[in-house]
Amino acid sequence: MYLVTGAAGFIGSNLVAELAAGGSEVVACDWLHKDERWRNLAKHEIADVVLPDALPDWLRRNGESVQAVVHLGAISATTETDVDLIVRNNVRATLDLIQWCTEYGKRILYASSAATYGDGTCGFDDTPDCAALARLLPLNAYGWSKHLVDRRIARLAAQGRALPPQWVGLKFFNVYGPNEYHKGGMKSAVAQNFERVRRGEPMRLFRSYRPDYADGGQLRDFVYVRDCVDVMVWLLRNPQVSGLFNVGTGAARSWLELAGALFAAAGLARRIEFIDMPEQLIAKYQYFTQARMERLRAAGYGRQFTSLESGVADYVRNYLARSDPYR
């Protein structure tokens, strides 16, 4: 039995789909709210659904059956300003689950983020070295909350303190793909612009506010959600692997290249409209992200990552363009 928190969310629901399709028993822990995110789970056989505030009691009654926890639940909005809310959901909940897994000998994978790298001036090396982690300066409270947990686990590991039999922090880069529809302004640019593009309207991209990057020339490591799921499933099958790992493709691509992939998938000529960036984002915007993937490769993960063009084409043709876009 696998316990997946954030199970109705974007990455979580894709993991639930994969595990359930493989015959695993999956317990989904998440808030379902009043939107349509329940549809992210609707196609899959699930052993139980647990609301997060009921999780401690559920673990007391059922924890012995849990093989591993995949903790993906979090406040994921980089624009969230209620830091107490972020601490409750991103810091306290994660450290509590890691402590429970330590006490009961259960494995855990947890979501970190590329937001921990800040503006990228210190690089994108996923080393768990405490001194290297101390040099990173996240640009927002979300990134700081993920970084706090990474640093705490790295410190415990460096001191030889008790940790779960397998512990893995995953620094996800710019993930896109099916089941992100409930995320509003935090959806990928592909999901946010597809309907506009299909109507014959231009795709909207932020202007650059730095002279060394042209409009649309800002660079990101865009990773298809299926690749993120494949990494997590591989880790669950390889309990000897622990550590902090980037999850990206290792190749930075521009927003203009992303736009080209979207228009090509839709079978339309490219049309771009550059818009002003919200003022609160200008000083906190990442102009370049690119995952270093050597550590995950050295741990034994060998599959190639989906190219931007192939991932966007699959997303558009097999999900966004269909009447039922859910995985």
Whether pTM exceeds 0.85? yes
Residues 176-208 have pLDDT tens digits of 999 999 999 899 999 999 999 999 999 999 999
In sequence order, the 6+-apart residues with CB closer than 8 A to the CB of 24 are 1, 2
* DSSP reduced 3-state for 247: strand
List the catalytic residue out of 183, 187, 209, 284: 183
Residue stretches of the chain with pLDDT short of 50 = none
Are the beta carbons of 286 and 119 closer than 8 angstroms?
A: yes
In this structure, whether the domain defined by 2-176+222-251+288-305 belongs to CATH 3.30.465.10 is answered with: no
List the catalytic residue out of 2, 110, 117, 142: 142
Residues 48-85 have pLDDT tens digits of 999 999 999 999 999 999 999 999 999 988 889 999 99
Strand partners, 4: 28, 70
* DSSP reduced 3-state for 143: helix
Q: What is the pLDDT, as a whole number, of residue 321?
A: 97
Q: For 251-262, b where at least 16 C-beta lie within 10 A, e where not — what string?
A: ebbbbbbbbbbb
142 is catalytic: yes
Q: What is the pLDDT, as a whole number, of residue 78?
A: 86
* DSSP reduced 3-state for 8: coil
Phi, psi of 211 (to 5 degrees): -65, -20
